[in-house]
């Protein structure tokens, strides 16, 4: 059996690291969803902060892999596809789960934002309604004994 070229080993290792990052991101996204459901803002902020290094790692891996893929020979590319298929499939499945959790979180947060905007709108309407009763603070009512 022919020996696998070092470039293929390197790319497979990069793919493994990518998959691991997706798994970690999925765990963080699940923590994020739990924090949103429980209205736990500190945990939500922590989950969002925990995503940044993982996203930076993914970006670094992508930047590392792109030039190698660009310069890879066709036989090496075919070999890499064969050897990396299982990893690619696992990464794709994890990424699909991650996207589903992120979409669910985005929908919940969008709904909460719309609710908050609606409450602000109602408060502004109530504030306008209160202005009809005149200025307050220091002035007494026409009906008071002091005025």
Span 37-90, pLDDT tens digits: 998 999 999 999 999 999 999 999 999 999 998 999 999 989 998 999 999 999
Could you give the 3-state DSSP secondary structure of residue 1?
Answer: coil
Asked whether 76 and 8 are in contact (CB, 8 A), the reply is yes
Higher per-residue confidence, 92 vs 130: 92
Among 61, 75, 74, smallest CA distance to 10 is for: 61
Do 10 and 18 meet the contact criterion of CB atoms below 8 Å apart?
no
Q: What is the CA radius of gyration of the chain?
A: 28
Please choose, from the candidates 55, 34, 52, the residue with its C-alpha nearest in 3D space to the C-alpha of residue 43. Answer: 34
CA distance linking residue 78 with residue 88, whole number of Å: 14
Q: Which two tokens stand for residue 79?
A: 């070999």
Q: What is the pTM of this model?
A: 0.75
CA distance 19 to 47: 19
């Amino acid at each position: 059996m022919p020996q696998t070229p070092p470039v293929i080993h390197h790319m497979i290792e990069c793919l493994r690291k990518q998959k691991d990052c997706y798994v970690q991101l999925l765990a963080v996204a699940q923590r994020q969803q739990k924090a949103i459901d429980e209205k736990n803002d500190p945990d939500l902020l922590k989950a969002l902060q925990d995503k940044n290094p993982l996203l930076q790692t993914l970006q670094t891996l992508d930047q590392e892999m792109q030039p190698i893929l660009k310069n890879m020979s066709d036989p090496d590319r075919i070999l890499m596809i064969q050897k990396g298929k299982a990893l690619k499939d696992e990464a794709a499945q994890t990424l699909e789960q991650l996207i589903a959790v992120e979409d669910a979180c985005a929908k919940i947060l969008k709904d909460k934002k719309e609710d908050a905007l609606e409450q602000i709108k109602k408060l502004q309407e109530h504030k306008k309604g209160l202005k009809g009763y005149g200025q307050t603070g220091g002035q007494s009512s026409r009906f008071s004994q002091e005025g």
